[in-house]
Structure 1
Amino acid sequence: MENANLNVLFQEKRQQLNHFASQFTSDYDEKEDLVQETFIRALKSIHKFINDPKLMTWLYVIMKNIYINQYRREKRKNVIYDEYVHTDYFDSVAINQTENKTIQDDINRAIECLSQENADIFRLYLEGYKYQEIAETYDLPEGTVKSRIHVIRKTLKQKLKMYQIN
């Protein structure tokens, strides 16, 4: 489909999508990000739905899934933050900052030893992306992504075995 036609279509649907985004957040910037990310994800398969009467339903499902995934990622970050920052361990974490930096540097070096694509796939996995989302991003079968992440984890575990607690 031609870019001009897509622009017209997206402009027509933007107001409805802004309304949908209001169901998830009241923050203007977050709504805009949600609408834009929905359009970006929709571009890949828009040709299948362009004349479909269920276009808005499809766009809404994309938006809802984006919001849910962002919520899960944020929740995971908050759990880690609460566990390490809002506990009695705060003082010991501060004392061990140098050691933690060394460990983080070793982890980063181990990831850098991977191929660029595998390193990027693993970083997305660490950020909380689902296997399916990673597969779509790299145009790979989901099983291939699962297999690669399994092998990457085994490789990193071997490279970082000095930090394993028995």
Structure 2
Amino acid sequence: MRTDAAFNKQLVEYQRILKNLAKKFTKDPDVINDLVQETFIRALKYVDQFFDNPRVVSWLFVIMRNIFINQYKRLTYQQNYEDISLFYYNQKLSSEPRMDDVSDQRMMLKDISKILSDMPLSHGEMFNHFVDGYKYRELSEMYGIPEGTIKSRIHIIRKTLQKKLQAKYNN
């Protein structure tokens, strides 16, 4: 039977060991402390199973490693998403005509509508659905066309719009 004093003593010992092990992942003391704390939070759910277990340090290390890997993946994914978003935002700013005046914007929207109306009806309609937020998969189901074909058509429509609008507004 465990006592609170013995349990606290064991946790302090594990904390020291886990801090040393966490240095394999990072040198930042704040990150080390967060890793140890998160490890204990997750491990305490199973406190009855690991108290006085001879392999508890190995088990805690695996928990810590998984926490670190998941955080790293999440951070990497978030950084990649931010980098890609920034890239596309900069691309959009540099490749599309800039309109500050509301009347210029209205005129451009009319021009976009005119260009889309000159295309086959399904193309303009498909592009409008895409702009409204429909996913390629949803458009594929809606039009009964393979998803790759939808992607190609949307790409071609976008390039056509860019080319025609640049020709009109950059001259």
TMscore range, shorter length = 0.5 to 0.7
Partner of 1:42: 43
What TM-score do you get using the length of structure 1 for normalisation? 0.53
Q: Which amino acid aligns with 2:77?
A: R
Q: Percent identity?
A: 38
Q: Which amino acid aligns with 1:54?
A: R
Q: Which one has a bigger Cα radius of gyration? A: 2
Cα distance in 1 for partners of 2:52, 2:46 equals 12
Identify unmatched segments of 5+ residues in structure 2: 99-131, 140-171
Aligned Cα RMSD in Å? 2.6
**Shift of residue 90 of structure 1?**
2.4
**Shift of residue 88 of structure 1?**
5.0
Cα distance in 1 for partners of 2:36, 2:28 equals 12
Identify unmatched segments of 5+ residues in structure 1: 96-161
Partner of 1:163: 133
Tell me which stretches of 4 or more aligned residues in structure 1 moved more than 3 Å. 1-6
After superposition, the Cα gap between the structure-2 partners of 1:65 and 1:88, relative to the gap in structure 1 and judged at 3 Å, is: closer
After superposition, the Cα gap between the structure-2 partners of 1:91 and 1:2, relative to the gap in structure 1 and judged at 3 Å, is: farther
**Shift of residue 34 of structure 1?**
0.3
Figure out how many residues of one structure are paired with residues of the other and give that number: 100
Within 5 Å, give how 1:57-72 maps onto structure 2. 57-72=58-73
Partner of 1:75: 76
Describe the superposition over 1:124-165 as per-residue Cα deviations: whole angstroms up to 9, x where unpaired: xxxxxxxxxxxxxxxxxxxxxxxxxxxxxxxxxxxxxx5214
Partner of 1:90: 90
Describe the superposition over 1:35-54 as per-residue Cα deviations: whole angstroms up to 9, x where unpaired: 00000000001211111100
Cα distance in 2 for partners of 1:23, 1:78 equals 23
**Shift of residue 69 of structure 1?**
0.4
Describe the superposition over 1:77-104 as per-residue Cα deviations: whole angstroms up to 9, x where unpaired: 011011011x2532647x8xxxxxxxxx
